[in-house]
Amino acid sequence: MPGYLIADIEVTNQDMFDEYRKVVPATIEKYGGEYIIRGGAAEALEGDWNPNRVVVLKFESLERAKEWYNSDEYQSILSLRTGASNGNVIMVDAP
């Protein structure tokens, strides 16, 4: 069953975030992941969540998503994202 990573990111340093965006796709692809949503307009319908930049990644399983996130390849570039943005990231196991 698929596993998803869902992120809501507020970019605070566009140049640094652009560097991250250049290198992260290859790490996602290596672990069989794919972008389902990568930015775009978001509209809140209920509650007090006002998302900034929403990203959804799909992997073949939650375990594979965790392998990607904890991989040397991703961990070596993670500081580009965390240094260039604030946000929330979760993983979801889809039945």
Q: What is the pLDDT of residue 14?
A: 97
Predicted confidence (pLDDT) per residue in 38-71, tens digit: 999 999 999 999 999 999 999 999 999 999 999 9
3-state secondary structure of 37: strand
Q: In whole numbers, what is the pLDDT of the chain averaged over residues?
A: 96
Pair 36, 63: CB distance under 8 Å: no
As a whole number, mean pLDDT of residues 1-28 equals 97
Give dist(CA 83, CA 9) in Å, integer: 12
* Whether the predicted pLDDT of 95 surpasses 90: no
- Report percent pLDDT > 70 for the chain: 100
Pair 60, 28: CB distance under 8 Å: no
The CATH number for 87's domain is: 3.30.70.100
Domains identified in the chain, total number: 1
Give dist(CA 59, CA 49) in Å, integer: 25
For residue 55, the enclosing domain spans 3-93
- Report percent pLDDT > 90 for the chain: 96
